[in-house]
Structure 1
Amino acid sequence: MTAARCPVSHTFDAMGDDYFRDPALAFANVRDEMPTFFYPYLNAWVVTAKADCEYVLSDWKKFSSGDKGASIEVPEQFQHIVPQELIAKILVGSDPTGHTLSRSVAGRAFVKPRMDALQPVIEERAHRILDSFAAEGSTNLMEAYCLELTTQTFMALAGLDHEAEPMMRQLRDDQFAILASALEPMEEPRRSEVWGRYAAAQTYLRGIVHERIENPGDDLISEMAGVRDREGAMVLSPEQIAVHVGEFSGAATDTTAQAMANAVLFLTANPEALEAAMADPQLWPRVFDETVRRRPSGTATRWAKEDVILGGAEIKKGDVVWLGLASANTDASYYERPFDFDIHRADVGDHLAFSKGRHTCLGQPLARVQGATGLKVLFERLPSLRADADTPLDFVQMALLPIRRTLPVHWDVTDAARARELI
């Protein structure tokens, strides 16, 4: 280990139970001693202090996202469908000017007024989903409600038929695996399986894009396909639009679903917060924001473009920097009682869960509307719902994206009948 790779934490383990149970606490156990440390498993520097994370996120010239796209290696047998230069154009793995252009096109579908207008639609959809299992008394809420709600909303937003839903659900998982492969290489045969499904999904989505070019509608894909330059040419190619739809299949579904599940866990552990939100529905947006502050659903990585010192560590040009957003959001230098779940805190929206700078999450208006609405309807219908006492640590085994698969919950079945009578 060279001096440039020190300090190293010998206790931090992003693949261990403590991390999956509570990433913020796992970071806190090393943050005070080593604000920035090297993590050999990912061959990356872990940055834990909020000020340092904000510095990295705000300076794309010193800390590039573009190397992420370049670091995702497309298997040779699929490069005729997904060329290396195409995957390098993913939004989370590109820098200006390409990123700016793509973001300006994609962002038209996620503007706040449009997302706010979806609120009654999301609420009605949430009721329909709950109707399907409310009388059962227990379920895996992650699949039955959180992912079901976000997936149905995305399918409607993209104007995709029900027949495409299984493919899009699988694409969601494959997209995350491909993004993580920039630092966590996939082994065979999983690598070929993931890329094979991804290439097939991209081919399907390109066909949809071409259909929307000929017959545009009021949907995300039509919105992106309809943007033209001064000469009347498409700003983004059908292939690039399909790549971005693939990104959204995960970013617009799983991250919000994870946040809703985490909120249920926090509310189970903090009944006074649940009581307050049920008494005052205006507090549900605060429940959602405090949840993602305490446990963000995403993460961020950058590549250093020059030598720099962060948290006392000497980071060299070309090194990977992994930003511990869960740590930044619980930095005691910025937050009073940082590990408390406090929906009344004055700075409830002051966090990095949606990143910062040029890569601020495009979908945060949708996430905030859908997360708050989904939680409100859930507890209006099933006020006694609580997470089971022994919630399993059932996560996809990826350090960069700890994706929860199950959340067992239970409730008094008499809730369902009483609540439905009031609707």
Structure 2
Amino acid sequence: MANPSAEELSHSARTQWELFQIRMFYQLAAFRKEPLAELIVRRPQRAPYPLYERIRSQGELVHSTLGPVAISASHGFVAQALRAPELGVAEPPARRSGLVRPIEDSFLMRNRPDHPRLRRLVTPWFTAKALQQRRESLLKLAHQRIDELAGQPSFDVVQDYAVPLAVRVICELTGLPVGEDWRRLAALGDILPLSTTAGLPSTRNQRRLDAGWANLNAYLDTAIAQKSQAPEGSLLASLVERSQDPEQLGRHDLLATLGVLLIAGFETSVGLIGHVTARFLDQPDLRRAAVADRSVLTEVLEETLRYEPPVQFTARRVNQDCEVAGHRLQAGVELFLLLGGANRDPQVFENPNAFQLFRANSKAHLAFSAGEHYCIGAGLARLETEVGLQALFERLPELRRAGRARWQPTQNIRAYRRLPVRG
């Protein structure tokens, strides 16, 4: 590789200096309790819920002094905003060539008509009926991974169990190849937390992102080239067939769709498995009840999604002047919708900061968003977590903590990065 030129080094230095100045600006604004700045500079290791409460105490919708941005931790406003037709995601500039970045380029960040058109291509594989037909295969994958961990005095529930299980599940569901190379795909999971953080990426993290996207593009190009090896009737085979007509599905959209399902498809499941496992380790009576009774486990999952959602916030842009929950919004305003804050709104959930089973309205949480952009993988995350935990604690009922847990180092993904255990 050629050495960087003096001009490139100068540009890099300017970029780092500019990023430093921007970070100092937000740090100063956060010191003054500016809510947007506090969200951006918050330390991910600290629970965000006190900050959400403080924002909610300032009103249902809080306008930032740093630009045309408003923030809400109110369940009533967030729920309506997610469903409002006048609001949409902030679409990045259209790109039909070059490196595909699935979080930015997929239907995840597209509005009508592209969003429903692309989403419909994959929906049949994520219906409740289609997923339930995969329960036994998911259970087999869970037991297979536990067999692989047999004999180890300790392991990491997140990195050694949840991640490889989730990678294998999403690959089996989509028809993407995994084989024994799951570690390569698991490493791509770091892309989602980095690409969805509220703060500005460091130069180092931006390089990691670019390298991750390049690796993902190469993997997907190989999978598409070897389409003949994909199972008949698989999602991969279906999308590749449609891509033969670029008017239906061009290469850029093909890679973006497969990529977002792969990356986002296992992150929520991994986060949910980690959260529930941590609670079971600390509450053995609850663990035994949940393993013995699937209805109890279902309640644990829903309350966990409310209490500690893996995805903490989402954003919407006001596309035209409108009114949402009694608030007049001007076109161009960006909204930060705090899902984790809405899920602890005392106007909706009694004693919201307590983990409480069998809430009458437990499923009113917004952990998977709502409206047109409701998480397509919600059903998979629930099923995979249920099956994965059932197998894990039936096989290893004496699991206990074996060291300090660590959180993902990002603001938006609230999930364990490490959760060591021993049995």
TM-score scaled by structure 2? 0.80
Deviates more, 1:361-370 or 1:130-139: 130-139
> Using the alignment, how far apart are the partners of 1:404 and 1:233 within structure 2?
40
Q: 1:225 to 1:111 in 2, by over 3 A?
A: farther
Out of 387, 393, 399, the residue aligned to residue 379 of structure 1 is 393
Gaps of at least 5 residues in structure 2 are: 1-24, 26-31
Q: Deviations over 1:137-163 (max 9, x none)?
A: 432211111112111111222321326
> Using the alignment, how far apart are the partners of 2:152 and 2:218 within structure 1?
40
Deviates more, 1:185-194 or 1:34-43: 34-43
AA paired with 2:173?
A: L
| 2:53 counterpart of 1:53 | no
Aligned to 2:264: 251
Aligned to 2:189: 172
Q: Counterparts in 2 of 1:216-295, with a 5 A limit?
A: 217-227=232-242, 235-295=248-308
Out of 132, 152, 155, the residue aligned to residue 136 of structure 1 is 152
Q: CA deviation at 1:354?
A: 1.1
Asked if 1 retains the 8 angstrom alpha-carbon contact of 2:315 and 2:334, the reply is yes
Question: Which SS does the other structure have where 1:253 is aligned?
Answer: helix
Aligned to 2:224: 209
Question: Which SS does the other structure have where 1:162 is aligned?
Answer: coil
Q: 1:193 to 1:265 in 2, by over 3 A?
A: closer
Question: Which SS does the other structure have where 1:343 is aligned?
Answer: coil
Aligned to 2:418: 406
> Using the alignment, how far apart are the partners of 1:59 and 1:319 within structure 2?
14
What is the RMSD computed on CA atoms of the aligned residues?
3.4
Out of 354, 364, 369, the residue aligned to residue 355 of structure 1 is 369
Q: Deviations over 1:320-360 (max 9, x none)?
A: 21211111112111112222222322323221111111001
> Using the alignment, how far apart are the partners of 2:103 and 2:405 within structure 1?
35
Question: Which SS does the other structure have where 1:235 is aligned?
Answer: coil
Q: CA deviation at 1:104?
A: 0.4
AA paired with 1:224?
A: L
AA paired with 1:338?
A: P
Q: CA deviation at 1:303?
A: 1.4
Asked if 2 retains the 8 angstrom alpha-carbon contact of 1:37 and 1:313, the reply is no
Q: CA deviation at 1:372?
A: 0.8
Question: Which SS does the other structure have where 1:104 is aligned?
Answer: helix
Q: CA deviation at 1:249?
A: 1.8
Q: CA deviation at 1:187?
A: 3.4
AA paired with 1:410?
A: R
Q: 1:304 to 1:386 in 2, by over 3 A?
A: farther
Asked if 1 retains the 8 angstrom alpha-carbon contact of 2:243 and 2:254, the reply is no
> Using the alignment, how far apart are the partners of 2:199 and 2:214 within structure 1?
20
> Using the alignment, how far apart are the partners of 1:177 and 1:373 within structure 2?
28
Question: Which SS does the other structure have where 1:132 is aligned?
Answer: helix
Deviates more, 1:334-343 or 1:248-257: 334-343
Aligned to 1:8: 34
Asked if 1 retains the 8 angstrom alpha-carbon contact of 2:76 and 2:325, the reply is no
Out of 147, 152, 173, the residue aligned to residue 168 of structure 2 is 152
> Using the alignment, how far apart are the partners of 1:345 and 1:270 within structure 2?
19
Q: 1:238 to 1:377 in 2, by over 3 A?
A: same
Q: CA deviation at 1:201?
A: 2.4
Asked if 1 retains the 8 angstrom alpha-carbon contact of 2:194 and 2:205, the reply is no
Q: Deviations over 1:353-391 (max 9, x none)?
A: 111110011111211110111111111122222345x74
Asked if 2 retains the 8 angstrom alpha-carbon contact of 1:273 and 1:342, the reply is no
AA paired with 1:46?
A: I
Q: Deviations over 1:116-148 (max 9, x none)?
A: 111111112111212233443432211111112
Q: 1:394 to 1:380 in 2, by over 3 A?
A: same
Out of 131, 135, 143, the residue aligned to residue 115 of structure 1 is 131
Identity rate, percent: 20
Out of 326, 337, 341, the residue aligned to residue 355 of structure 2 is 341
Q: CA deviation at 1:48?
A: 0.2
| 2:381 counterpart of 1:370 | no
AA paired with 1:258?
A: G
> Using the alignment, how far apart are the partners of 1:282 and 1:228 within structure 2?
42
Out of 81, 87, 101, the residue aligned to residue 98 of structure 2 is 81
Aligned to 1:64: 88
> Using the alignment, how far apart are the partners of 2:45 and 2:327 within structure 1?
26
Q: Counterparts in 2 of 1:380-395, with a 5 A limit?
A: 380-387=394-401, 391-395=404-408
Q: Deviations over 1:204-251 (max 9, x none)?
A: 41342344379762322113234489xx77622233121111111222
Aligned to 2:10: none
Asked if 2 retains the 8 angstrom alpha-carbon contact of 1:306 and 1:317, the reply is yes
Deviates more, 1:250-259 or 1:186-195: 186-195
AA paired with 1:195?
A: D
| 2:291 counterpart of 1:301 | no
Aligned to 2:18: none
- Count of matched residue positions in the alignment of Structure 1 and Structure 2: 391
Asked if 1 retains the 8 angstrom alpha-carbon contact of 2:121 and 2:239, the reply is yes
Aligned to 2:113: 97
> Using the alignment, how far apart are the partners of 2:247 and 2:136 within structure 1?
33
> Using the alignment, how far apart are the partners of 1:10 and 1:234 within structure 2?
41
Asked if 2 retains the 8 angstrom alpha-carbon contact of 1:69 and 1:93, the reply is yes
Q: 1:410 to 1:161 in 2, by over 3 A?
A: closer
> Using the alignment, how far apart are the partners of 2:382 and 2:103 within structure 1?
28
